[in-house]
Structure formats: C-alpha cells, structure tokens
Chains A and B, each alone.
Chain A
Amino acid sequence: MLSKRIIPCLDVKDGRTVKGVNFVDLRDAGDPVELAWNYSQQGADELVFLDITATVERRKTMVELVKAVARQINIPFTIGGGINEITDADALLNAGADKISINSAAVRNPELIDELAKAFGVQFVVVAVDTRAIAGKNIVHLNGGRVPTEKESLDWILEAESRGAGEILLTSMDHDGTKAGFDNHFLKEVNKAVNIPVIASGGAGNVQHFVDVFEQSNVDAALAASVFHYGEILIPDLKRVLKTNNIEVREV
C-alpha cells in the first residue's frame, strides 16, 4: 500500500531556518541541513523548504542550500519560494531538488506550469495554493494570504492540474496558525476533484488532527511546521497513532 506522507516544512531565510525551533540535541537550531537530517532520522517522509529570502542573492543561496541538503539527506525534498522562471527551476533540479513548488508566480503566469512540466516532467512541479474563504467561497490568495485574487480555489487547482501540476499543496489560510485542525471539508472536495496527489497544510495542532485529515479527506500527505519544530508532535509518535487508526504509514 502507498503510505500517507508526513512532511515537515522549514522556512528558510538567507540559508537559515527562521521559525523558532525547540529541538533536542541540535547543535545549531538555525541550520536547515541539520534540522532536515534530524527529521529524516525521525521518519519524515519528505521535506519542504520554503525560501523567504528577499535579497538579490537569493538564487545563489537557494542553490547552495539545495546542494547541502541533497548531499546529506536521503529522502525527497521540495523547494518553494521565488521560483519565477525555467532557469530558476533548472538550477534547483541540478542541485538535487526533487520538486519545486510554485505559488504566486503560477497565479500571475499560469503558463509557467505548462513550461515547467514540459521541461522537467509533471513529477517535478508542485503548485502551492493559499486559500481563504470569502463570503462562503474559497478564494486563492497571494502574499501569505493577505491579497485576494479573482480566482476560486477549486477552479484554479483544476486549471493547474490540466496545465501539468504533478501535485497540489493546499494551505488553508483560515486554519493556518490556529492549531485547530486542517480544513478537512475543503480538502476532501479538492482531493475528490483531482487525479494528482494533494498535500494538506494549515491548522495542525495535535496528533488527532492528522488522523482526522487522512480519515476525512483521504489526502495523500499532510504538512506542518511549528508542531514539529517545537517538538509538540514527534514523528515516530504520530506515525504510531496513525497506524493504530489503520492509516498506512512508513515506519523507520
């Protein structure tokens, strides 16, 4: 059976992790490579690095980070943030990234999805969608959920799929940061509507939330940041609980 994936997400700025990390036995809590290695040893199935560097040097920093991760980590990982064109993606692929995640750039220029899928294969292209409800409708938002667009989220997700997205990373901005659970209702709707894998994001606060999202929406993967970084949820414990709930997981 294909396992459900557990994915810690690391925010990186200028090559360092920025969200607070409260982790046992880390020499340097800001070192994304050491943190990533730690997660891979705990049994994380995949990692996402979100680069929030704002400087012009960002591309070089990202490539260096990707290389450092690929050298030391033996599980797949995705890089997101600041990928606007084919050359950005090409540099990351050659540095060892398994997938890239595009968000605003795809909304502004949907053909970027087609171009990336054609150049590197659909398996390389994750389209990240930040959604927030406005008057009962799920609307795509940009800039971390601050700027609404004209697009309805499900319509945009279906368009992304038809253009060549290999996976959807769906973050509910209404749930993100609340620790009150994933948006299982909308995730279920999206998961049923597409034929590509869906990663749930936003709202994880405890182990039961992961059980709920897999049981209620049947998504392929669940992503979280702070609950892992602060050690509130340990991945081996999480996987044990998922397993006792008959959810297929990979144990290490």
Chain B
Amino acid sequence: MIGIIQYGAGNIFSLTAALERLGVLYGMINKEADFELYDRYIIPGVGHAGAAMQKLEQTGLVPVIKALKKPVLGICVGMQLLTAYSEEGDSNLLGLFPIKTLRFAGSPDHKVPHTGWNQVFAEQDSALFANIPNGSHFYFVHSYYIEYDKLYTLSSTTYCNKFSASIMRDNFYGVQFHPEKSGAYGETLLKNFSKI
C-alpha cells in the first residue's frame, strides 16, 4: 500500500484518481507514525521547488524521509526535492542525490515551461519501466530540470539539453514527468512502482 506524503504542495486528486483506476491501494501520510502503515511512498509536488521544500520542512518529516529504506517515488517537484539543490529560489533540498536542479535556458525554439509529450529513453534497466517501450512519450510540464548524471539517471529526455527524466539511488526513485497524466504508459509506471 502506497503512502502519499502530504505537505501542501500541489493537488493530488489526479494522482489518487490514477491509483484508484489501477486498483492500487493508498493512504495519506501526515505525521511520522503514519510511515509504518505503508510499504512504499510517493512524494508529489507541483509549483515552486524552494517553496515546496519550505513546506516539507514545516511538516518535520524531513529526517524520517531521508532515512526511509522502503521504495520512495518523487513526482515532478517531488523528484526535484530529492536532489541537493535547485536554482529555483536558490534552495537547498533533501540531498538524497548529489545532483542539481537547474533552469532551462529557453529560446524561441525551446519554450519554457517545457510543456507537452516528450520521449523518454532508458539509460539503465529498471523495473520502474517494465513493459514500457523505450522512447515512449510522457507528459512533462516544468521550467527546471535535473541534470543528467550517468550514475543516477534511469532515463533521459532531451529538451534544450539532455536531462534526467527519471533517477534512482538505492530505494529512492524520481520522475520529472507526470505519470498520472501520461496515458497508458504512465499508468503502467505507477503500477510498476506499486510492485517494486
């Protein structure tokens, strides 16, 4: 059963709706004692990474999250929180990945936010992408991206530059795109995470 970490950054209606469609059970995490009720966790998030980090700190759950040993999936800004730093608000983040979140340079040919369906290419084999063809399209909407890093990048996407579409380190996973809005393959990815 998935525990969704509630910290007030963005709506989770679409995420819980997707889990319900998939028949994946979930509940909400509001305090430390809630963590033991679940065997895996999702950190959602939209909006401003710096503001999201402040909200997460206010919950007092940061030390617990950093010490988690069960699978954790950060989505969009929830993924960016796992990195060490974001240019958005010049913010220090959880630091579970020693990599940075940077702003797209942008140009008339590469508008920012990066909005729409882009292809995701595997850099490493992962159960997270089981039954998802290499190069499938996922739905992105973001102005900041996580730098590509050979060690942690599970899959990459190119927009302005090559960046991390998904990352993994030990039990921590992150996806920049929105699986809950990415059609059938997005749903497959959520299903895969529920079984990792």
Contacts and interface: CB of A to CB of B under 8 A. Distances in A.
A40 B183 contact: yes
Nearest to B76: A123
A77 B183 CA distance: 12
B117 A74 contact: no
Given A93-B11, A96-B11, A192-B108, A74 B46 contact: no
Given A3-B137, A194-B111, A96 B17 contact: yes
Interface in B158-196: 158-159, 178, 180-184, 186-187
Contacts, number: 98
A71 B143 contact: no
Contact of A45 (B11, B107, B117): B117
Given A98-B141, A122-B143, A250-B137, A220 B115 contact: yes
A252 B47 CA distance: 29
Given A74-B183, A196-B111, A1 B119 contact: yes
A79 interface: no
Nearest to A98: B181
B18 interface: yes
Interface residues of B, number: 38
B116 A123 contact: no
A121 to B, nearest CB: 4
Contacts of B137: 3, 250
A76 B108 contact: no
Interface string A36-73: 00001000011000000000000000000001001110
Interface of A: 1-3, 5, 40, 45-46, 67, 70-72, 74-76, 93-96, 98, 120-124, 166-167, 191-192, 194-197, 218, 220-221, 250, 252
26 contacts: A3-B116, A3-B117, A3-B118, A5-B117, A40-B183, A46-B116, A70-B13, A71-B17, A71-B20, A74-B18, A74-B184, A75-B181, A76-B178, A94-B11, A96-B13, A96-B14, A123-B141, A166-B115, A195-B106, A195-B112, A196-B111, A196-B113, A197-B116, A220-B116, A221-B116, A250-B137
